[in-house]
Structure 1
Amino acid sequence: MRTTIFRRKAAALLAAIPLAGVAWLAASTSPASATGASTPAAVLGYLHQISGNHTISGVHNKEPLSNPSQYTAQAHALTGKWPGLWGGELGFRADDIANRQTMINQARTEWANGSLVNLTWHMCRPDVTSCEFDGGVNGSKLSDAEWQQLITSGTTLNNDYKAKLDTAVPYFQQLKDAGVPVLFRPLHEMNEGWAWWGGRSGPDGSARLYQITHDYLVSKGLTNIIWVWNVKDTDANGGSGGVAGFYPGDAYVDVASLDPWDHGFPTGDWYQALLAVAHGKPVSLAEVGTVPTPAQLASQPQWTWFMIWADYITSANSAAGLQATFGSSRVLSQGQFTIPGGGGPTPPTTPPGGSRTGAITGVGGTCVDVAGASSVNGTAVQLYDCNGTNAQVWTVGSDGTVRALGKCLDVTGQGTANGTVLQLWDCNGSGAQAWVAESDGHLRNPQSGRYLDVPGGDTANGTRLQIWDRNTNAWQLWHLPA
């Protein structure tokens, strides 16, 4: 984070695209369709799908909030493309706070045009209504005693902080009512101490304030927020090895992100640190000055988006460099992916046309089975003697899902590691519920890159199924319904 305003650096997407669709994305040149209501699950499912092969372009639009898309327009003028992610700011100065509605209107427009929406908040201290950046957001420290008061429920500073969050609730609610999922990045760069909320490691530190922020806004019914946790590539507070001390926990994070201001593009250790702490969640470059080159993105392929910081578009980039990246087949801008209209949080339980229904049989002539024929979320998916019951009737859909009892075959916890077990869960369009039937009988989960597997080839009734690296064992070969 630079230390002055002027030098400072800085939906739903298709929940279940047929898996051949990833190659199609880069080739599409038609305008993105207007976007209807959608969900965070759909956006996250899409990010999982592109992780490893594509990255969405993005640009942040800082103050003034009265002109909330000026830097996006600059990117278009230089590259001929509208970024696939629009970044906005909730503001800290009084005049910008007064223009939040203008910014929210722009966010709705950008979503309707086919871009993801990202919001950042350079928040003043909890006990200050508005402030300047220098001496307000940056450089205005809390004492240790004030910090303990801040994270203690019912205290003056804690109540002040929640009151400040309340000022943003109506704007998030407007986006929720419009069906717009929001990538929200609160308390960013928390592993560095330039802002009053940062630099405090451990369970009662910056991560605790993030948890309080999450829980409070969720308690207000804001189910449209995608929670983006963020750190900077600083050597302070343990460097990349200290990142875990600032992580608020998997239940609080949907996307893990990095701002590579010290190194320009992440070093290998920072890339690996983010992947390690993310536990299989999508990762992104939440702020960059110089746009990553196509070669850099190919070398670290799991970044799902980058967001250029506002005026750095022109101060840190050449037109040729911007054009090379925005024109790369790896990079998706507005019009190169489709954001479909959605509806409720759960897709219809009836799969689209072209599906096949029947038993899935495997090693020893046994069947894939839902334990106890239960449709409760989290029910184990196991191997069992074939018996013709509904617990063994599966629909292999043309949308990439495998369904039984009105729910989907799911990799537990979005896991990607060998040995992660399978369960039945509400269909939600995530990568954990996407499957590809290969011609030789293997069934692949693209998100993890691993395959439906019987542990050790054990054919005993009740053996719980898992994902595992592809091999030639008979217990990875499946016969699907005709």
Structure 2
Amino acid sequence: MKPIHTILAGTCLIASMTACAPQQKETPKPERTPEALAMLQTLKTLPQQGVFMFGHHDDPVYGIRWDGDENRSDVKSVCGDYPAMMSFDLGHIELGDSVNLDKVSFDRIRREVVAQYERGGMSSFSWHLDNPQTGKDTWDVSDSTVVRSVLPGGANHEKFITWLDRAADYMNSIQTADGTKVPVLFRPWHEHTGSWFWWGQKLCSTEEYKALWSMTYNRMKEKGADQLLWAYSPGIEPNDTTEYLERYPGDSIVDLIGVDAYQFERAAYEQALDKSLRIMTQIGKSHNKAIAVTETGYETIPDSTWWTGTLMPIIQKYPISYVLVWRNAREKENHFYAPYPGQVSEQDFVKFYNDPKTLFAGDMKSN
């Protein structure tokens, strides 16, 4: 834990605040667990304190030149602490597989989500599920009728309900030893403003996309998944609040709004991320939603000062709850987004870690 972080002392935090009353006067959503409400309140409170969480996808399950080790993390190896936010993927849970699309055991993910919760951190789930129409992967965009086919009355509706049930059952199974369901942030149907997933912009109508979201939310509620928070995360394509909200499913079923933005060229990235965060800040205030950079990064991080020279100057201007970088693949060369020992941005990341605005897992418990 960084001693410099004293700002959170006394703040209601996720591991210990399950009985805390919300600080803001707002009507809680029905059928939401106290733990989920506590997590939501933390997401909203952190920006008010001038801090945000750092996150990393698949952080504790594999990394550069290692796979499956226990109590390990490339981030932890660099700075001595786990990320405050971790994300994992549900892809292939719909098929009934024991491992996800990145060949990580769902049992292992369950254990890691519980461990992250118990150390005071948070977890989120994305879902790169297969194409239910063609049987190919989530990136198969050869058919523009897939979303329509899974909606009520569609040829794949019953199969898709089974898929949703498998996802709900799995997330309901993520429990502490005393049977408490661990609250998680669920981020379905992400990056829909692009067209590289079968639910993307050119693959379905606005009405169909919103119906997909509503059906997902309602089925999860029917299955008793009341520990979930819900995140809406387009890409960088929207240029104003109207475009950002074009397919927004509604305030009643969204808790956090985000953006997925990756660097390929620095100036374009800086401009796009700043634009997106400006839009989200406006919407977050008017709709009372937490905001976050739900995915970002610079593949291989070749810039030795990227963390403090490119990323931080943009995100520190906005009231984000967290910023999360993508995974450190162990099966692909040059596909990593967080530093590891010896990586060129390692020392700059330590500076980023030591900044009082950044929170890691050790900072999420009261000092």
TM-score (norm 2): 0.73
Counterpart AA for 2:338: I
Which residue number corresponds to residue 209 of structure 1?
A: 212
In 1, the alpha carbon distance for the partners of 2:69 and 2:164 equals 24
The match for 2:360 among 305, 328, 333 is: 333
Query: CA offset at residue 139 of structure 1?
Result: 2.8
**Cα shift readout 1:74-103 (whole Å, capped 9, x = no counterpart):** 011112221111211113385624821221
Counterpart AA for 2:164: L
CA contact (8 A) 2:240 2:279 kept: no
Match status 1:24 vs 2:6: yes
SS in 2 for 1:299: coil
CA contact (8 A) 2:189 2:199 kept: yes
CA change 1:241–1:104 in 2 (3 A) is same
**Cα shift readout 1:325-360 (whole Å, capped 9, x = no counterpart):** 2211001111112289xxxxxxxxxxxxxxxxxxxx
The match for 1:274 among 267, 280, 300 is: 280
CA contact (8 A) 1:138 1:196 kept: yes
CA contact (8 A) 2:79 2:350 kept: yes
Which residue number corresponds to residue 284 of structure 1?
A: 292
CA contact (8 A) 1:60 1:71 kept: no
CA change 1:154–1:244 in 2 (3 A) is same
In 2, the alpha carbon distance for the partners of 1:254 and 1:273 equals 16
CA change 1:313–1:268 in 2 (3 A) is closer
Which residue number corresponds to residue 296 of structure 1?
A: 314
Which residue number corresponds to residue 442 of structure 1?
A: none
SS in 1 for 2:181: coil
The match for 1:188 among 187, 190, 198 is: 190
In 2, the alpha carbon distance for the partners of 1:199 and 1:329 equals 39
Query: CA offset at residue 35 of structure 1?
Result: 5.8
CA change 1:33–1:217 in 2 (3 A) is closer
CA change 1:68–1:119 in 2 (3 A) is farther
SS in 1 for 2:234: strand
The match for 1:107 among 110, 113, 121 is: 113
SS in 2 for 1:175: coil
CA contact (8 A) 1:186 1:228 kept: yes
Greater per-residue strand proportion? 1
In 1, the alpha carbon distance for the partners of 2:79 and 2:150 equals 45
Counterpart AA for 1:295: P
**Aligned pairs (5 A) from 1:25-424:** 25=7, 38-52=34-48, 53-61=50-58, 73-92=73-92, 94=97, 96-97=99-100, 99-127=105-133, 136-144=137-145, 146-151=146-151, 153-175=152-174, 177-200=179-202, 203-234=206-237, 241-261=242-262, 263-265=268-270, 266-278=272-284, 279-290=287-298, 291=307, 293-300=311-318, 302-311=319-328, 312-314=337-339, 318-338=345-365
Counterpart AA for 2:294: A
In 2, the alpha carbon distance for the partners of 1:147 and 1:328 equals 44
CA RMSD of aligned residues (A): 3.4
CA contact (8 A) 1:180 1:224 kept: yes
CA contact (8 A) 1:68 1:106 kept: no
SS in 2 for 1:24: coil
CA contact (8 A) 2:15 2:121 kept: no
SS in 1 for 2:193: coil
Counterpart AA for 1:274: M
In 2, the alpha carbon distance for the partners of 1:282 and 1:303 equals 7
Number of matched pairs: 305
Which residue number corresponds to residue 347 of structure 1?
A: none
In 2, the alpha carbon distance for the partners of 1:68 and 1:160 equals 32
CA contact (8 A) 2:61 2:68 kept: yes
CA contact (8 A) 1:63 1:89 kept: no
CA contact (8 A) 1:127 1:160 kept: no
CA contact (8 A) 1:59 1:307 kept: yes
Query: CA offset at residue 68 of structure 1?
Result: 6.8
In 2, the alpha carbon distance for the partners of 1:128 and 1:182 equals 30
Query: CA offset at residue 115 of structure 1?
Result: 1.1
| Larger RCO (CA within 8 A; separation ≥ 6) | 2
**Cα shift readout 1:176-234 (whole Å, capped 9, x = no counterpart):** 64331111111111111100011157541323211211111111111000001111113
Query: CA offset at residue 26 of structure 1?
Result: 5.4
SS in 2 for 1:179: coil
CA change 1:186–1:102 in 2 (3 A) is same
Which residue number corresponds to residue 455 of structure 1?
A: none
In 1, the alpha carbon distance for the partners of 2:41 and 2:68 equals 28
Query: CA offset at residue 239 of structure 1?
Result: 7.1
Counterpart AA for 2:73: A
What percentage of aligned pairs have identical amino acids? 18
Which residue number corresponds to residue 21 of structure 2?
A: none
CA contact (8 A) 1:75 1:313 kept: yes
Counterpart AA for 1:86: M
In 1, the alpha carbon distance for the partners of 2:129 and 2:200 equals 12
CA change 1:253–1:90 in 2 (3 A) is same
In 1, the alpha carbon distance for the partners of 2:16 and 2:126 equals 22
CA change 1:27–1:178 in 2 (3 A) is closer
- Segments of structure 2 that go 5 or more residues without pairing to the other structure are 19-33, 299-306, 329-336
**Cα shift readout 1:392-428 (whole Å, capped 9, x = no counterpart):** xxxxxxxxxxxxxxxxxxxxxxxxxxxxxxxxxxxxx
Query: CA offset at residue 305 of structure 1?
Result: 0.3
SS in 2 for 1:180: coil
In 2, the alpha carbon distance for the partners of 1:123 and 1:310 equals 18
In 2, the alpha carbon distance for the partners of 1:114 and 1:120 equals 21
Query: CA offset at residue 67 of structure 1?
Result: 5.4
